[in-house]
């Protein structure tokens, strides 16, 4: 009898298309179809971006709490978070995500993280003493001012007039008033990027355009974040401007570090540790990972890169599959492939991702089966 081949499928989600669970299921279906020799273990992963809350919710065997909050433009929207014991897992994108906005609504001068603050406050009032906050996919560059407002902080301009928390008001904030009782809670900010707050690699320059920032609005946002950071540094006595990961989600981590001693953690490494990922890798003969686009950014602590490092450390071959792949990322993997077999518009690739991924995975499984005939 031919020996079994252990395949570990550990993908990240594809934005706008298959989530990590669906990705893993498609690959499993293809391998099982090709040969009964394949034993597939699915361990979907995340890095602080989309579906991080879902990955952690399942890993922690937690329950979901649903509620209504305000979306980035102040409209009611249904959202939720996961609770395991006294730990709450919150995905910022659920309340303040760009996916909640229609085309043409993206404007970081107007959008606010208030809804995320509502989730955090609700979790604290439910008795949670630890918050795990995934910050990928946000629509905001408000420095967390909207979130702070929901948590009871007040912001004022130079004339003592109150200000709402949003990107436009960042430049105008001169005074911060804390709530009478500051909640005691441990916060971990699970980030999928390590960009600083300001400059050419900061929140506005790198992530602003995808959130609707324009050449006209970007200088105001950059100056606003600089002003806000100076205020928080003076208030807390902490150095924040050069903090790794401070540029994630429009600077939402700044006030959490300043007032709650929050820790910004590399999302991929943190998630893999909770999943006991090294044990899964030791079981595998081959590791398969992937995400929608595999490029140079993947090498900045994105989930597939973290998976590849674990596989390489264990001496296991690792293959990456993506809709779009760029050569600059190829050195991280033993094989890197696009499942898109012909030139297609992005919308078509997203629409047909399931079928194309399945067909590619069948071909990959056939090759692996042929190379292991004995």
Tell me the pLDDT tens digit for each residue of 107-122: 999 999 999 999 999 9
- Mean per-residue pLDDT for 299-307? 89
pTM above 0.85, yes or no: yes
Residue 125 confidence (pLDDT): 95
Residue 37 confidence (pLDDT): 95
Residue 298 confidence (pLDDT): 87
Residue 343 confidence (pLDDT): 64
Q: Which fold has domain 5-45+288-371?
A: Rossmann fold (3.40.50)
Measured CA to CA in angstroms, residue 197 lies from 47, 49, 74, 110, 193 at distances of 19, 18, 25, 19, 11
User: Angle at Cα 342 formed by Cα 15 and Cα 207, nearest 5°?
Assistant: 30
Residue 342 confidence (pLDDT): 67
pLDDT category at 278 given cuts 50, 70, 90 is very high
Domain 52-268 CATH (choose: 3.40.50.2300, 3.90.1510.10, 3.40.710.10, 3.40.50.970): 3.90.1510.10
pLDDT category at 363 given cuts 50, 70, 90 is very high
Confidence check: pLDDT of 347 > 80: no
Residue 106 confidence (pLDDT): 96
Cα separation, 231 vs 111, in Å, equals 21
Residue 183 confidence (pLDDT): 87
Confidence check: pLDDT of 166 > 60: yes
Bridge partners of 68? Answer: 78
- The chain-wide mean pLDDT, for the chain, equals 93
Q: Do domains 5-45+288-371 and 52-268 have the same CATH topology?
A: no
Can you give the residue ranges of every domain in the chain? 5-45+288-371, 52-268
Residue 353 confidence (pLDDT): 86
Residue 15 confidence (pLDDT): 78
Measured CA to CA in angstroms, residue 96 lies from 70, 250, 342, 350 at distances of 8, 11, 36, 23
Query: Helix 52-59 vs helix 267-274: angle between axes, to the nearest 10 degrees?
Result: 20
Residue 16 confidence (pLDDT): 73
Q: Which of 133-137, 186-190, 242-246 has the highest mean pLDDT?
A: 186-190
- Mean per-residue pLDDT for 316-332? 91
Confidence check: pLDDT of 9 > 60: yes
User: Of 276, 274, 137, 148, whose CA–CA distance to 211 is shortest?
Assistant: 137
More confident residue, 351 or 337: 337
Measured CA to CA in angstroms, residue 187 lies from 7, 114, 260 at distances of 35, 17, 7
By CB atoms closer than 10 A (0-12, 13-18, 19+), residue 63 is exposed
**Residue 370, C-beta contacts closer than 8 angstroms, at least 6 positions apart:** none
pLDDT category at 135 given cuts 50, 70, 90 is very high
More confident residue, 49 or 134: 134
- Mean per-residue pLDDT for 286-313? 92
């Amino acid at each position: 009898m031919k020996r079994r081949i252990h395949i570990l499928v550990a993908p990240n989600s594809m934005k706008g298309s298959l989530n990590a669970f669906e990705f893993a299921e498609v690959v499993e279906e293809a391998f099982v179809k090709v040969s009964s020799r394949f034993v597939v273990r699915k361990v979907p992963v995340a890095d602080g971006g989309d579906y991080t809350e879902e990955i952690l919710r399942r890993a922690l065997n937690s329950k979901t709490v649903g509620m209504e909050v305000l979306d980035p433009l102040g409209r009611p929207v249904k959202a939720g978070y996961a609770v395991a014991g006294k730990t709450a897992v919150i995905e910022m994108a659920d309340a303040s995500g760009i996916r909640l906005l229609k085309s043409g609504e993206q404007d970081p001068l107007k959008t606010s993280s208030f809804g995320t603050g509502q989730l955090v406050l609700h979790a604290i009032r439910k008795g949670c003493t630890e918050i795990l906050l995934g910050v990928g996919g946000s629509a905001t560059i408000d420095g967390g001012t909207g979130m702070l407002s929901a948590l009871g902080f007040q912001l004022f301009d130079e004339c003592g007039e109150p200000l709402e928390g949003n990107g436009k008001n960042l430049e105008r904030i001169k005074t911060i008033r804390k709530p009478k009782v500051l909640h005691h809670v441990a916060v971990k900010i699970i980030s999928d990027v390590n960009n600083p707050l300001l400059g050419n690699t900061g929140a506005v320059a790198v992530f602003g355009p995808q959130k609707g920032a324009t050449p006209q609005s970007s200088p105001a946002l950059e100056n606003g974040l600089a002003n806000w950071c100076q205020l928080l540094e003076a208030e807390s006595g902490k150095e924040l401007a050069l903090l790794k990961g401070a540029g994630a989600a429009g600077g939402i981590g700044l006030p959490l570090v300043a007032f709650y001693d929050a820790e910004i953690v590399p999302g991929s490494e943190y998630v893999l540790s909770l999943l006991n990922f090294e044990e899964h890798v030791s079981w595998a003969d081959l590791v398969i990972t992937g995400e929608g686009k595999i490029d140079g950014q993947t090498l900045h602590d994105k989930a597939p890169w973290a998976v590849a490092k674990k596989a390489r450390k264990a001496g296991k071959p690792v293959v990456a599959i993506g809709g779009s792949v760029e050569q600059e990322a190829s050195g991280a993997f033993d094989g890197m492939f696009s499942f898109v077999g012909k030139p297609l518009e992005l919308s078509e690739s997203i629409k047909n991702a399931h079928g194309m991924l399945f067909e590619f995975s069948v071909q990959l499984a056939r090759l692996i089966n042929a190379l292991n005939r004995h």
